[in-house]
Amino acid sequence: MNITEHGEKELKKCSLIVSVYNEEASLEKFFEACSSVYERIGGEYNLELLFVDDGSVDKSPLILDQIAAEHPDWVRVIHFSRNFGHEAAMTAGLDYAGGDFLIFMDADLQHSPELIPDMLKKYREGFQVVSMVRTKNSSAGLIKNISSAAFYWILNHLSPLHFEANASDFFGISAEVQAVLKKYYREKVRYLRGYVQSVGFRKTTIEYEAGVRQGGKSHYSIRKLLVFSKNTLLSFSNLPLRLGIFASACSMFLGVLLLLYTLFTRKGAPSGYATIVVLLCFMFAVLFFVVGIIGEYISLLFEEIKDRPIYIVSETKNLEKRDRKGME
Ligand code: UDP
Ligand code: MG
């Protein structure tokens, strides 16, 4: 705690960044939980609650505006012009939050606000990145759990960096980490949780049990998760691009074997229509797969080169221009 020149206690500021997309069923409960944390830590920290409304089409924007109007001293709202996705919503939080420590969390109470004091304790101990690691995800089904384990296995094998398998979009970072992420990690196809884990700094983890979603339903369908996983794998590794070289080495090896077999045995290569067609189909499949992977990388490049905004803000509540660090 610092003392200002007027002799007042200057509290450290903590920003809670909450992504909201059609969460009318849980918002009030969530705010209640945050209010009790506000009362608990109010003496030690200046809490700022920053809701990012990711183009919700239910009553969430109205509920958020009402909360903001009733609590102008600590609640702020950013409304997007349309739905840009969870990653974009977290990025807006990263850009706008003015705290010394930033905590990212979901609005459905799967990330319990009650854990905030524990995270702040780690911050006080000097940690700059606090990752919340799930011990049990009660609401995720078996398919989601298995595919998530497979995703991390592949990611950790493809990428030189290490990613914690059960890390979630519930984490805390200090203002120094925020500055680095804000300035240098401006990719359009994003994975903020991955950047947080790979950026370095003094890190620690806290284990927690992910709760059950309070009302509404998950926005991540299996299809969305697959696209997200594919983009993440491609943007954290260029190994798939080398697959072509590996495939060409394999087919060269096969060719040489066949050549030697033909030259040194009297029988010659196995003949017949079927052999040739099967071999051709197999080779073309490998070839098209490699071309497809190159296509995926080009599409990622295209997204980056277009340089369109990650999100568009249509309106803000209780945010003054000076709060919008780096936005104007
Ligand atoms: N979310 C968002 N934009 C979207 C989808 C989700 O801001 O396009 C928010 C959502 O309101 C929630 C968080 O991101 O607070 C996580 O989403 P969800 O609970 O659907 O994901 P799950 O917990 O099932 O992985
Ligand atoms: Mg959820």
| Residue 138: CB atoms within 10 Å | 11
How many angstroms is it from 59 CA to the middle of ligand 2? 18
Span 72-112, pLDDT tens digits = 989 999 999 999 999 999 999 999 998 999 999 999 888 88
In whole angstroms, what is the distance from residue 82 CA to residue 130 CA? 31
Span 240-265, pLDDT tens digits = 888 889 888 998 998 888 888 888 87
Residue 61 scores a pLDDT above 80: yes
Span 131-187, pLDDT tens digits = 998 886 656 677 777 878 888 888 888 888 888 888 889 999 999 999 999 999 999
**How much is the pLDDT for 266?**
66
291 pLDDT tier (thresholds 50, 70, 90): very high
**How much is the pLDDT for 326?**
47
Q: Closest ligand 1 atom, CA of 139?
A: 24
Single pTM value for the model:
0.82
How many angstroms is it from 19 CA to the middle of ligand 1? 7
In whole angstroms, what is the distance from residue 37 CA to residue 17 CA? 14
Which of 65, 76, 117, 138 shows the shortest CA–CA distance to 322?
76
Most informative mutation of 106, 137, 143, 151 for ligand 1 (most atoms within 8 A of CB): 106
Pair type for strands 75-80 and 45-53: parallel
**How much is the pLDDT for 312?**
94
How many angstroms is it from 169 CA to the middle of ligand 1? 10
Task: Pick the ligand that lies closest to the CA of residue 224.
Answer: 1
Q: Stretch 207-228: mean pLDDT, rounded?
A: 81
ipTM: 0.95
How many angstroms is it from 152 CA to the middle of ligand 1? 20
In whole angstroms, what is the distance from residue 1 CA to residue 9 CA? 7
Residue bearing tokens 């926005």:
219
Determine if residue 230 is left, alpha or beta; phi over 0 gives left, psi from -120 to 50 gives alpha, anything else beta: alpha
DSSP single-letter state for residue 125: T
Pocket lining: 137 vs ligand 1, CB cutoff 6 Å: no
Strand partners, 208: 134
In whole angstroms, what is the distance from residue 125 CA to residue 144 CA? 35
Please say whether the beta carbons of 131 and 162 come within 8 A.
no
Give percent above pLDDT 90 in the chain.
47
Task: Pick the ligand that lies closest to the CA of residue 22.
Answer: 1
